[in-house]
Amino acid sequence: MSKDDLRKEREKRESPEDQVDKNGNPLKFCKDLESDWTVKNNELHYGLKEHVSVDVENGFVLGVTMTPASEHDTKYLPYLALASCHTEDPIKKIYADKGYFGHRNRAFLNLNDIEEGLRLVEE
């Protein structure tokens, strides 16, 4: 996917003329200032990402944050770990997919005596 392809897709998305929604109604111009573009598996995606921390034993949501699609997952592991610390029991292990891998996150987990459950999971 080239920068030119991304630019063309942006222009197409930002120009509502002759575009209709799933119900056939004309799209109205609206600019979402927080969403943006990312490329995954050579496909363009527009929107936001949701990063969620969940208690694996009970299924309770402990922490949530939304980010632009282009922001990398790596920097949100410490935030979600800290947002999840409102329980009496300390976090013992964090499970996450490959988007959260990285030296800084491993150092953060080690510094806070949290076991690493990061896994390379293919989608």
How does pLDDT run across 86-97, given as a tens digit for each residue?
Answer: 767 778 888 888
How long a stretch of residues is the chain?
Answer: 123
- pLDDT digits over 57-100, tens only? 888 888 899 999 889 888 899 988 887 777 677 788 888 888 88
CA distance linking residue 19 with residue 62, whole number of Å:
39
Going by pLDDT thresholds of 50, 70 and 90, the confidence category of residue 122 is low
**Structure pTM?**
0.63
Would you say 87 and 61 are in contact if contact means Cβ atoms under 8 Å apart? no
